[in-house]
Amino acid sequence: MRTILVTGGAGFIGSNFVRHALGRTEARVVVLDALTYAGNLESLADVAQHPRYAFVQGDIADRSAVRALVRERRPEAVVNFAAETHVDRSIDDPAGFVRTNLVGTFELLEAARLYLRDEPAAAAGFRFLHVSTDEVYGTLGRDGLFSEATPYAPNSPYAASKAGADHLVRAWHETYRLPALITNCSNNYGPYQFPEKLIPLMILNAVEGRSLPIYGDGGNVRDWLYVEDHCEGILQVLQRGAPGGKYNIGGGNERTNLQVVDALCAALEAERPAKANPALAAAGKASYAELKTFVADRPGHDRRYAIDASRIRRELGWSPRHAFEDGLRETVRWYLGNRAWCEAVSAGKYGRERLGLAPR
């Protein structure tokens, strides 16, 4: 039975991928996660007793721990989700992003390279898949899409640290022939996302009658991808992608931040009408939309991202299953039904600070 080592598997996309891999494959899934603020075992509670699941707490930048784990578990695949991801935090603390996203990826690559060097028989079928972001490409004008050939032009410390990691992965394939792949995704949404990001933050703030902070004029455009669809794309790349390959994964759902917030307000109204929410009455509001507040834009805020996902569609036959509106309704229902999870993950280092953030 093959083993997949999933780094950052207690985070948003990582935990969703763990469930997806356990449900769609026969592989053992070993999670390595440092359990920082955005990684929480509550996100894996439903698989904690699964016979093919194991959890190891550790930091991907810890050289000795990572190399020992790879040698002990002998994975046939490494899927690297581990990353600091929030742009605002990268502006305040770039050093932490460089350490995890860049140095951590280097340590994983080296652990894999040395493992295959010392045990060449393990190289057959081995894959190293690095999960990255569309933010490495910079920003778009009104037209155009990011393709796999788009030059890198990161505009935030977060994006720069991910871009550097992508370059390392490519170099380890080209120089050492490590069978590596890279995926670059658009904005994800869905269950288990830490409540500092746009969609969960707006849902929870709205239900509590708190302001819905929107950067600038709300016109920044993102391409939204339901997390379950993203996990299926990653699995397809892992199983069928050509080593050295790079695949963009996007939902084809461009929306301005203001459009997303308005859609969320409408979805909340359908699921939990404002007139029946005492928190709104206490705030003196008659609708969720009245909670919208425009705040000063952040430095280096990219105006538009949009993904050309034609390669993964053409070569691997992947396509997203969720229309944006359908995925949004499922997401709203999940957060409304899992308030205990939201409180548990918000009780850590950054706690209720999330309520004052205007996210990416």
User: Domain holding 153: CATH number?
Assistant: 3.40.50.720
**Residue 259 belongs to some domain of the structure:** no
Give the model's pLDDT for residue 340.
Answer: 85
**Residue 308 belongs to some domain of the structure:** yes
Give the model's pLDDT for residue 1.
Answer: 65
Give the model's pLDDT for residue 92.
Answer: 80
Q: What predicted TM-score, i.e. pTM, was given to this entire model? A: 0.93
**Residue 168 belongs to some domain of the structure:** yes
pLDDT in tens, 32-71: 999 987 788 999 999 999 999 999 999 999 999 999 999 9
Looking at the chain, list the stretches that DSSP marks H as alpha helix, in order from N- to C-terminal side.
Answer: 12-24, 63-73, 87-92, 94-97, 104-118, 157-176, 198-207, 227-240, 257-271, 278-282, 310-316, 324-337, 339-345
Structural domain boundaries enclosing 65: 3-193+226-252+301-322
**Residue 262 belongs to some domain of the structure:** no
Give the model's pLDDT for residue 75.
Answer: 98
Alpha-carbon distance 360 to 349, whole Å? 20
Rg (CA), the chain: 20
Give the model's pLDDT for residue 353.
Answer: 46
**Which residues on adjacent β-strands are paired with residue 55?**
31
All residue ranges of the chain with pLDDT < 50 are 349-360
**Residue 113 belongs to some domain of the structure:** yes
- The residue annotated as part of the active site, out of 107, 110, 134, 232, is 134
Residue 8 near residue 39, CB atoms below 8 Å = yes
**Residue 296 belongs to some domain of the structure:** no
Q: What is the b/e burial string over 281-294, where b = at least 16 CB atoms within 10 angstroms of the residue's CB?
A: eeeebebbbbbbee
Q: Indicate the burial class of 122 (C-beta count within 10 angstroms; 0-12, 13-18, 19 or more).
A: middle
**Residue 332 belongs to some domain of the structure:** no
Residue 250 near residue 187, CB atoms below 8 Å = no
Q: Which of 175, 130, 156, 185 is nearest to 5 (CA)?
A: 130
- The residue annotated as part of the active site, out of 84, 135, 196, 254, is 135
Q: Which residue type occupies 191?
A: P
348, 343, 334, 328: CA torsion to nearest 10 = -60
Give the model's pLDDT for residue 355.
Answer: 40
Annotated catalytic residue 134: yes
Q: Which of 200, 8, 219, 233 is nearest to 101 (CA)?
A: 8
Give the model's pLDDT for residue 348.
Answer: 55
- The residue annotated as part of the active site, out of 37, 115, 137, 158, is 158
Q: How many domains does the chain have?
A: 1
**Residue 92 belongs to some domain of the structure:** yes
